[in-house]
Amino acid sequence: MLLEALGWLIFLAALIVSVMLHETGHFVTAKRFGMKATQYFFGFGPTLWSIKRGETEYGFKALPAGGFVKIIGMTSLEEVDPEDEPRAFRRAPAWQRLIVLAAGSFMHFLFAAVLIFAVGLGIGVENVQSSNTAQIGAVTPCVPSNEQTLLNGTNSTAGEAESPAALAGLRVGDQVTSFDGVAVSNWTQLQNAILKVKPGRLIAFTVLRDGQPLTLHTTLAEVKGHGSFFGISPVAVTTFQRLSPLASVQSVGTGFSEVVTGSAKAVAQLPGAVPSLFAQDRVCSAAANVGSVVGAAQATGDAVAAGEAWQAKVSYVLLLIASLNIFWGVLNLLPLLPMDGGHIAVVLWERIRAWFARLRGRPDPGLFDYRKLIPVSFSVFAVVVFFSLLLIAADIVNPVNLG
């Protein structure tokens, strides 16, 4: 429990750092261009503590659900003192406003790149080899839909059944001593015994758990093209090979590509995953692939508490934090208000509109009227809040446990 709590604290610290790096990107670039920033806060709601330095108030608020930098004159709707109007965000050239808006996501990407590079250079990539013992290293929660899914280790999809090993109550660390009446002492013997049993037949097997023999029962499943499927993996022997600086840079590109692709798939699955978020078989549905910050914190706690080498723990936690920062950076760039990408889209539209006006010999129409976008902004905000709260609730009452 102590190590798991430590994992939660590590994730919370990383979350705070990520949020404030995002806001620092906005803050530093705004100040660099002479814009007036009056507040720099972590959290929302009532102020817990603050201090004023120059024209900016720094502090913490009661609800740790993000952070913000208050730059005056962000939209055409905001009232600004006439004496401060020249330093308002809306009066800056378009290229400066675009840099300030994109700086938050840039800091997420920079943070993620540093973490991935550090893992490659300082820890390296995992080289996993299976030990030839009959001890269980992992229990697969679901039955893969086909042999390719099994070999690739692809995440669960809707409709997959719970694996025979999971149904039998097998646990990581159990030592299998016999399978369907055949004595086994190593992984090769156990695999051969499994493949000899026809799918659909009820079998008994014996394990040593905490030094005590225990007999369990289950019915083997079938994976097309593979044969009988039980749902176990051996204890792994893991080594780490450090990468060269060049290879570490290449790993950054690979990491970004994988996270962006995986995030797009997860977001696409979200609407269809909603019905399974609170289902008993969530782990074997598309809902296993979506989660909230609570789920990420739980995964961090589980990783820190796991009986793995320190390299595996540090690598997992750092890469998880990097992945979340890439996701948040991309999410913030979507052209939807109130996210940064929505404001970027407005600035670009203002310049396109001004260009067309110039072609027709007309004056610049000026700032866009944000009142036209209030219904859209509210709708997007409501959808984001709804799904965020739904995922948090699901991760609290029905967490995904991959074993």
What's the length of the chain?
Answer: 403
| Cα gap 114→257, rounded to integer Å | 15
The catalytic position among 4, 23, 126, 350 is 23
CB-based contacts of 202, cutoff 8 Å, min separation 6: 217, 218, 219
In a shared domain, residues 311 and 379: yes
Q: Is residue 176 part of a domain?
A: yes
Give me the domain span that covers residue 171.
Answer: 132-234
In a shared domain, residues 290 and 347: yes
If one counts every other C-beta atom within 10 angstroms of the C-beta of residue 207, the result is 23
Q: What is the CATH number for 142? A: 2.30.42.10
Q: Is residue 265 part of a domain?
A: yes
Q: Are 291 and 270 in contact (CB under 8 A)?
A: no
The structure tokens listed for 345 are 């889209």
Q: Are 366 and 90 in contact (CB under 8 A)?
A: no
Q: Is 23 a catalytic residue?
A: yes
In a shared domain, residues 282 and 326: yes
From first to last of its 403 residues, what are the pLDDT tens digits of the chain?
Answer: 788 999 999 999 999 999 999 999 999 999 999 999 999 999 889 999 999 999 999 999 998 878 899 999 998 888 999 999 999 999 999 999 999 999 999 999 999 999 999 999 999 988 777 778 889 988 888 888 776 766 665 544 545 688 899 999 999 889 999 999 999 999 999 989 998 899 888 999 999 998 899 999 999 988 887 778 898 988 877 788 899 999 999 999 999 999 999 888 888 888 888 888 888 778 777 777 788 889 999 999 988 988 778 888 999 999 999 999 999 999 999 998 889 999 999 999 999 999 999 999 999 898 888 888 888 888 988 988 898 889 999 999 888 775 5
- Domains contained in the chain, number: 2
In a shared domain, residues 108 and 203: no
Q: Is residue 204 part of a domain?
A: yes
Q: Is residue 62 part of a domain?
A: no
In a shared domain, residues 269 and 388: yes
Final residue in a domain of this structure, among 205, 234, 263: 234
| Cα gap 175→134, rounded to integer Å | 6
Q: Is residue 51 part of a domain?
A: no
Q: Are 323 and 92 in contact (CB under 8 A)?
A: no
| Cα gap 361→344, rounded to integer Å | 26
Tokens 């499943």 sit at which residue? 221
Q: Is residue 56 part of a domain?
A: no
In a shared domain, residues 178 and 298: no
In a shared domain, residues 394 and 276: yes
CB-based contacts of 9, cutoff 8 Å, min separation 6: none
| Cα gap 343→222, rounded to integer Å | 52
In a shared domain, residues 399 and 333: yes
In a shared domain, residues 366 and 339: yes
Q: Is residue 53 part of a domain?
A: no
Q: Is residue 202 part of a domain?
A: yes
In a shared domain, residues 320 and 228: no
